[in-house]
A = this chain, B = another copy of it.
């Protein structure tokens, strides 16, 4: 009952790290910023599984334990990585609301930007936590993505719900996309090749007599997407349905 961590302390420490300006480099040039950049480089190139403190230290030409002088632990490092990545999203806070085609065009833009971000940094999908990382870029992201929804007939709570819905959809489809990429990299077999190779197995599994609808639809969808799933198509299709539903909500006022 006593080994419990005190969240306040951790949070204060994380916040100081996230918001603290760049500390001066020590005698070996080691900086929080440099550590974060090295970590992101590794995660981008080799995946989150390859991200170890030893690996980061090695890339920086530094002893492993030296990292702990600047960063409390791996958890805080990943928080810093996430906030740094959020910084890539928008040029300025009005970029989404400046898009053409009103709130619909803006949400499509937001979806595309988040999708691209996840494609560049697929490791983010393994690190996202329900409680937001309260870094300097998270607030800006939230403001930028909310502005186009202001004054179109939604309540404040609805604005938040609509944005969350779109972001959850993008995250879900991006996760599938990232998973496919990871499998392809691991096995050297892309989705289409896999689908073609496992067609006979799928036919047996999807027994047409026991599962008539599944076998028919599965075959049609497989042919269309040349694989078990097509995340890019799912993103577009789902977003269109969601935005139609939001339009209904607004029109119902």
Contacts and interface: CB of A to CB of B under 8 A. Distances in A.
A42 interface: no
Nearest to A142: B214
A134 interface: yes
Interface string A141-165: 0110011001000011101111011
Contacts of A131: 179-180, 183, 194, 228
A241 B250 CA distance: 11
B150 A213 contact: yes
A4, A93, A138, A244 — which one has the most chain B CB atoms within 10 A of its CB? Answer: A244
A129 B179 contact: yes
State which size class the interface on A falls in: 35 or more
A162 B240 CA distance: 11
Contacts of A201: 11, 15, 134
B176 A229 contact: no
A22 interface: no
A221 to B, nearest CB: 4
A187 interface: yes
A160 B249 contact: no
A61 interface: no
Contact of A202 (B129, B134, B221, B237): B134
A206 interface: yes
Interface stretch (A31-39, A49-57, A116-124, A167-175): A167-175
Interface of A: 4-5, 7-8, 11, 15, 93, 129-132, 134, 138-140, 142-143, 146-147, 150, 155-157, 159-162, 164-165, 168-169, 171-173, 176-177, 179-180, 183, 186-189, 194, 197-198, 201-202, 205-207, 210-214, 216-218, 220-221, 224, 228-229, 231, 233-234, 237-238, 240-246, 248-249
7 contacts: A134-B201, A139-B207, A140-B211, A142-B214, A156-B217, A172-B172, A244-B245
